[in-house]
Chain A
């Protein structure tokens, strides 16, 4: 029933690699950038907080397809450089994910008792040291389940890459379906691949969450 796909296996594999690359890159860079945005929003003063607010609202308030188009068409015009669609995908997914992750991380940081700051201050720690050694290690543990959700969501939204011509898993599926007219079988397999790899990652994150769990701290 699915033998026809053997012919397309290398194409499927490349599409799969493209999809997981964008998802991993987007969620990891989004995580680092989201953490910096959360710190900037909480401790950077009013101006930083307002700028971060605009950034977050832009990425949360518009569809990712529109964001992909904006970056894909405007960067070459504004910067006068050629940039391939895969790179645009990496950039947009990282920036988009950072906007969401900033919200999760900020919430987790705010949930940490303010008096711990006073205790840190009494020990002679600076504000940066307090963020680094007291706030972040707790906040990042708390945020992990939300991060797992974000990863799932990003993995699935990566299908939007086909709109700017990136040969991701969904686009490969579309190509195979249009070549073979075996639409249902093709998309069933594509859906299964998404399901399996996303489930594996979610399971791994769950295991990490259990491993780094500390009595008294939970999401």
Chain B
């Protein structure tokens, strides 16, 4: 039995006491698991990821990272966040730092690595995403796809227990999406534990151990990818899948 890396139990996120963004979600992600979350815009997927990484405190429920409860009082959240990699939809690289500087930052100042070791680790992470040649370039000098690969390297370099990716390709055009997907595919092959919000269905079908259909703040349906590609049980998931497959086919025909 594989170890549980991240878990949430009965997680809720309610804004202003009335807007329910995440509703009673329970989830387990095991070592080397790749789970894909998909669902309509505004369904709470990003909020769920932010609650899991404690970037946004959940209103109710518990989050565990390797058995340690992150939602209890008195926990050092900065230390916990350092063990979780997070890749944002809009990337958010620090514009005053080079690609290397972006990746090195947490290694130097959070993990307190000596300068030389941090540099080697950062270069290693850039090598994994095939960006080592661009190490000394600033974000403004890189394409969106390259920036996102640096974003992935930044999350990866900390050697986190898990990487959460929030629609890492949705701000990119199809060509740039391809290069980011290739990077994620190679991370998947290396056994990186990942929870990915994405609508890249061919990719999800290829790498996901489980797909989760999320709607109105909660898990509607879950199963192996083939389940969704052949016989999703809920109407909502069926319609959403049909539209996604149509869209993907449309893009491939262009």
Contact = CB atoms under 8 A, between A and B. Distances in A.
Interface in A93-142: 113, 115-116, 118-126, 129, 133-134, 137-138, 141
Nearest to A127: B78
A123 B138 contact: no
Contacts of A141: 96
A188 interface: no
A215 interface: yes
Classify chain B's interface size: 20 to 34
**Chain A interface residue bracket vs B:** 20 to 34
Interface stretch (B35-43, B85-93, B119-127): B85-93
B116 interface: no
Interface of B: 53, 55, 78-84, 86, 88, 90, 92-96, 105-106, 109-110, 138-141, 154-155, 158
Given A123-B158, A133-B105, A133-B109, A116 B88 contact: no
B109 A216 contact: no
A136 to B, nearest CB: 10
Contacts of A115: 88, 90, 92
| CB-CB nearest 8 A-B residue pairs | A216-B140, A124-B82, A122-B86, A119-B92, A123-B106, A124-B110, A215-B140, A124-B81
B94 A134 contact: yes
Given A124-B106, A126-B78, A216-B139, A118 B55 contact: yes
A184 interface: no
Nearest to A142: B96
Contacts of B105: 123, 125, 133
